[in-house]
Amino acid sequence: MSEKATNEAPSARTTVKRGDNRAVYASESIHEILDAGVVAHVGVSTPDGPIVLPMAYGRDGDILYIHGSVANAMMRAGRSLDVCVTVTIIDGLVVARTPFHNSMNYRSVVVRGVANQVEDGDKLRTLKIINDHIAPIWDDARPPSETDVKQTLVLALSLEEASAKVRDEGAIDEEIDMDGPHWAGVVPMTSTWEAPVTNADLRGDAAVPAPVAALEGRNAHPGRVFP
């Protein structure tokens, strides 16, 4: 996918209508938000009705990968069907002079498109991408067994039809309130990975993998993307 101009929506259904001044369509910016996020909410229609589930994900270029159990009804329904994937990062609470103007600073991405099943020949590669986006231990842990792989379904979704929306500013109040007695401002929010806690049932003297130890003190949602 080529780099889009920030004012060019990829499709009508991903065009930001409300608050379009905060719309971001540049693929580089969308990639940055996805790389900073941790959880994707995946929505799909099933025979039992629509459902949205939080899922781990990973990105490789212009493709987003999600995975789950082959027994998961949503995953089965998502094969070669239209899905909607959203990733949201909250960067702060915006406190206005009146509750009606309270808001949040955020970075969000919406991806729409057809999710296709990843074939067995490419499944291990894509599972590594998803795993290492969350906890980069693929090369330090026991390799997945054949049963593990068979019980896992991976779906690939193109980022061709994606848009982002970003808010990073203070409260927007009415002129009538500017000279009043009420406070307005932003309460920033950050998430930081803490020191790893060893499992109680760990036997032997296995050390914390270096990539996991390196997470300590890091911002869990690094960087901010501005429209």
Arithmetic mean of pLDDT over the chain: 88
> For 165, phi and psi rounded to 5 degrees?
-140, 130
Identify the CATH homologous superfamily for domain 12-213. Electron Transport, Fmn-binding Protein; Chain A (2.30.110.10)
Confidence at residue 224, expressed as pLDDT on a 0 to 100 scale: 63
Closest CA to 42 of 12, 68, 5, 18: 68
Confidence at residue 13, expressed as pLDDT on a 0 to 100 scale: 86
Closest CA to 120 of 153, 78, 87, 163: 153
The answer to which of 38-52, 71-85, 168-182, 188-202 has the lowest mean pLDDT is 71-85
Average pLDDT over residues 190-205: 93
Judge contact between 75 and 153, C-beta under 8 A.
Answer: yes
Confidence at residue 67, expressed as pLDDT on a 0 to 100 scale: 87
7: confidence class by pLDDT, cuts 50, 70, 90: low
CA distance readout (Å), 12 to 16, 27, 43, 167, 190: 9, 17, 19, 21, 33
Q: How crowded is residue 38: how many other Cβ atoms within 10 Å of its Cβ?
A: 14
Q: Please classify residue 93 by burial: count the beta carbons closer than 10 Å to its beta carbon, then call 0-12 exposed, 13-18 middle and 19+ buried.
A: middle
Confidence at residue 18, expressed as pLDDT on a 0 to 100 scale: 85
197: confidence class by pLDDT, cuts 50, 70, 90: very high
Does pLDDT of 78 surpass 60? Answer: no
